[in-house]
A and B are shown apart, each in its own frame.
Chain A
Amino acid sequence: MKLSQLNPGQKGTIVSFTDAEMSVKLMEMGCLPGEVVEVERLAPLGDPMAIRVAGYQLCLRKSEASVIIIQS
């Protein structure tokens, strides 16, 4: 399942990434395999999304969240 498919309030654990270049940026920001992510809210127009990860709040576009494979 992709992170972009979660609804606000839902949680999942990061398993892997489908894009190497993007994964570097995401991992530096704390999105590591094994981390739990929770979707906090969507922007008023439905995109981007705000997630809780590694003890802080991160926002990213849905297209970016779709490279993160999670297990709920």
Chain B
Amino acid sequence: MADIKVALVGNPNTGKSTVFNLLTGLNQKIGNFPGITVDKKTGFCKLPDTRTAEIVDLPGTYSLYPKSKDESIVFQVLADRNNNSHPDLIVVIADATNLRRNLLLYAQVADLGLPTLLVLNMADMAKKEGIAVDVDKLANRLGIQVVQMAARNNEGVELLKDAIANSTRISTQNYSINVNSFAPEAINAIKQKLNTANDYYALQVLHQHEHLANFTTKEQSEIEEIERKFNFDSSKLQGEETVARYRHLGTILDGVVTDTGAAKKFANTDKLDSILTHKVWGFAIFLLLLFIIFNAIFAWASYPMDLIDAGFGSLTEMGHEYLPAGMLTDLFLDGVVAGLGGIVIFIPQIAILFAFISILEDTGYMARVTFMMDKVMSKVGLNGKSVVPMIGGLACAVPSIMAARNIESWKDRMITIMVTPLVSCSARLPVYILIISLIIPEGTVFGIFNTQGLALMAMYLVGMVGAVLVAWIMKFLIKAKERSYFIMELPVYRMPRWNNVFFTVVEKSKTFVFEAGKVIIAISIILWVMASFGPGDRFENIENKYAAALADTTKNTQHIESLISSEKLENSYVGILGHWIEPSIRPLGYDWKIGIALITSFAAREAFVGTMATIYSVDGGDEDTDTIRERMLSSINSRTGLPVYTFATGISLMLFYAFAMQCMSTVAIVYRETKSWKWPIIQLVYMTAMAYFAALIAYQLLK
């Protein structure tokens, strides 16, 4: 449906995603590039001439030579004409405050010979820092359209749309360096072999053909044959090319950029860095920020959550009042609506968490956290860059494990993937919140800290410490294939772009509702069915058993009815399953009802709360507005006659959820990222064992 395909390319931290958001608005979707697992962000944009442009946002990279798996997609999309994201036009986004380094990527991309235009983003910041760019001169020298933008302030987006509309299908850029001279024989051999006229394409193929999926095994070995024949030295030639390109860029930019503010450019960032990466204050501020985030998740989110809770409560009540009574109504209200309520209620917390993460990334603070933590992280076998997946793991392990692709070292990346699911994700949050509210009395410590907030923070620390310990052990078990890197830009501090924060929050909440939601609704329905039916004539027998008592009008029938429903639940399919696993979980302090929740949670942790809602609303018999919390609190273990949710059971249960691999999506993503079943199976086994023993020890000590 698009008239023109446009690819956005640029260094990290250039505001590429802001430009993408400005062009496409909320009209964007996330998909996959076929064959690999990098997220593909596409969106549509109406051009001034009424044509529609399809915009693809490619991952940020400093060069076309991939240093990680994430970056290899950029060359694949731009070079392979058969790739279905192959663009008609490349838009290179460059940071105007650091033009020379940004233009290295432009020069490489331009030499591939596709129509290209250049965006000088952050023009306002450049101006403020005393950097003046002669745009016309630059456009002339490069032979392309150059657009100035300040995407953060929404400036220049119309100019960019005009430029896209004005672009031709024929490339106009001036070629820069003499690419052929680096390895003439090998390049000519490849050109002949692949039937291409582009020297740079041929050179890139020589450098990175092993990353390219579009060649057959036969072609791959033929390319390798050419490399051997002409002694193609990849590292040396990449170095020579980079030096030559920078030299050329020096002449291009001569007289184009005048920098009068180099000295004051970093004044603010320097001042902030001396505090934020300080030996004492740096760590103190980081911890304080984490605490503020958790406090916010607990305190701020409670208002919208109460509203949602009350809303779904009255919806169910009204439904039972006005809808015709029967099995379908019960399925709809107690299965579907109850399950839906269980999902929607966590949107406020997920939104707050992602708002914070996205603000920390956007301001440049996250890079400093990486910088501060690298020494510690590398001690336990991780990498400073593991901090982002691990902090992201606070939200969800699935995107975080995908984010681990930015770690170049294979060993560091594997360990990060293996331990990220131990970090307490948002799916554990509902479980923690429910249990904490049951076993920790509300109050304050030192007059300011909420006890329940502290308990929640403790659970997050438990997850983090577990992750660090396991990483440290794995450091000795996994053999390295290559060395670990840590060469990274520290961007200047900036105010967060509220637009981007908003887009991230919407995108992540949507992902949660639709991805986790599907599983939760499905489980809610299956569970309702399993809880409402039993094998053979068990249900009938129960009804017969109590028939006489019910007929006796002198007795209180309400009590008998609730006896019937609880006996029915115990004899339903789900009750039987819960009973079946009870002996193995009794040492952890759990009864068969918790057993049911553990079973459903193996699909997704957040199913715990939904399961509890279903079990206790079925159990309770009458359709009152009692919250799950109150029902759980008053539940009594039929074996011991004591409350089920004691302090010991609660702690044991939270530890189990902290360590267990109860997420099918994570298992799937680990398989996809490691390309073997070995890693997800190891992960599933070690995490389940860790969860069981931690819960066992905690319960036995505390009971």
Contacts and interface: CB of A to CB of B under 8 A. Distances in A.
B597 interface: no
A67 B588 CA distance: 54
B486 A28 contact: no
Contacts of B371: 43, 48, 50, 59
A20 B239 CA distance: 8
A52 interface: yes
A3 interface: no
A9 to B, nearest CB: 12
Interface of A: 20-21, 23-30, 32-33, 40-41, 43-48, 50, 52, 54-61, 64
Contacts of A60: 486-488
A36 B98 CA distance: 16
Give the secondary structure class of A's interface: mixed
Interface string B344-355: 000000000000
Contacts of A20: 235-236, 239
B65 A28 contact: yes
Nearest to B99: A55
Contacts of A57: 266, 269, 489-492
Contact of B101 (A33, A56, A59, A64): A56
Nearest to A33: B243
A24 B488 contact: no
B98 A48 contact: no
Contacts of B277: 41, 43-44, 50
Which of A20, A48, A50 gathers most chain B CB within 10 Å? A48
B374 A61 contact: yes
Contact of A56 (B278, B378, B384, B489): B489
B246 A32 contact: yes
B274 interface: yes
Contacts of B376: 45
Nearest to A49: B371
B472 interface: no
Nearest to A60: B487
B221 to A, nearest CB: 24
Contact of A55 (B100, B274, B282): B100
B689 to A, nearest CB: 33
A57 B277 CA distance: 14
Interface residues of B, number: 45
16 contacts: A24-B239, A27-B239, A27-B243, A27-B246, A30-B101, A43-B371, A43-B374, A44-B277, A44-B283, A48-B375, A50-B371, A54-B101, A55-B97, A55-B262, A60-B487, A64-B486
A27 B241 CA distance: 10
Contacts of A23: 235, 239
Contacts of B333: none
B121 to A, nearest CB: 15
Which of B97, B283, B371 gathers most chain A CB within 10 Å? B371
Given A44-B278, A56-B489, A57-B489, 16 more contacts: A27-B242, A28-B242, A29-B62, A30-B101, A41-B274, A43-B371, A43-B372, A46-B375, A47-B374, A48-B371, A55-B262, A57-B491, A58-B490, A60-B486, A60-B487, A61-B374
Given A30-B101, A54-B100, A64-B486, A47 B375 contact: yes
Nearest to A23: B239
A54 B97 CA distance: 11
Contact of B375 (A30, A40, A45, A56): A45
A28 B282 CA distance: 30
Contact of B486 (A30, A32, A48, A54): A48
B292 to A, nearest CB: 21
Given A20-B235, A21-B235, A59-B486, A54 B98 contact: yes
B274 A25 contact: no
A8 to B, nearest CB: 10
Interface string B471-508: 00000000000000111111110000000000000000
Contacts of A58: 487-490
Contacts of A64: 485-487
Contacts of A56: 98, 101, 489-490, 492
B515 interface: no
Nearest to B364: A57
A44 B124 CA distance: 33
Which of B67, B242, B273, B384 gathers most chain A CB within 10 Å? B242
A56 B235 CA distance: 25
Contacts of B601: none
A61 B379 CA distance: 13
A9 B367 CA distance: 21
Contacts of B378: 61
